[in-house]
Amino acid sequence: MGKWGRPGQGRAILKDITDRNFVRIGDFYYPPGSAEALSVQPLRKRRSKIIRTGWIDDSRNLKNREKYQDPFITFVKMELKLDVWPEFYFSTERLYRFDYAIPEHKIAIEVNGGVWAKGKSGHSSGTGILRDYDKSNLAQSLGWRVIILVPKNLMTDESLKILRKYKH
């Protein structure tokens, strides 16, 4: 045994104290509840409980609404005065979400890119197409009207015309 114990023992001790959340300040480690540790540790926020309702009070939808803001949302807001929600979870049964939703009128907008792409990816594979059918059927059974657009037609007068028609 050497001056400082068995070889590798220092690493084991260091791992043990870091696993137990000791706080390093300079060259010293302090227990998590000590005055020294508390003086440098930011207080951790408590996680809020996730609410899954499939509606506008769903915490996932509220988070997505804060997180995403894009030209299409602004476009519809300016032109039609409609509140568009991005990445909207519409069901508690499945984790499906719409690309955009106008919950007030139960209008869903799906943007399907890669329509002409070859291969077996995304919406163009058999599995992807079946998943889209399942999602669309579930949405319709819950009273949603689903509009499917391609990216190049998203911000056009044509899409506004469709939204106006569905709004009423």
Q: Is residue 47 part of a domain?
A: no
Give the DSSP H/E element, type plus range, for residue 14.
helix 9-19
- Asked if 167 and 80 touch (Cβ cutoff 8 Å), the reply is yes
Q: Is residue 78 part of a domain?
A: yes
Question: What letter represents residue 140's amino acid?
Answer: Q
Task: Check residue 99 and give its pLDDT.
Answer: 97
Same domain flag for 83 and 149: yes
Q: Is residue 34 part of a domain?
A: yes
Q: Is residue 1 part of a domain?
A: no
Give the DSSP H/E element, type plus range, for residue 40.
helix 35-40
Q: Is residue 3 part of a domain?
A: no
Same domain flag for 15 and 96: no
Mean pLDDT by 10 residues, the chain (168 residues): 64 84 84 82 68 95 94 96 97 95 97 72 77 95 96 95 90
Prediction pTM value: 0.69
Task: Check residue 119 and give its pLDDT.
Answer: 64
Range of the domain at 23: 9-40
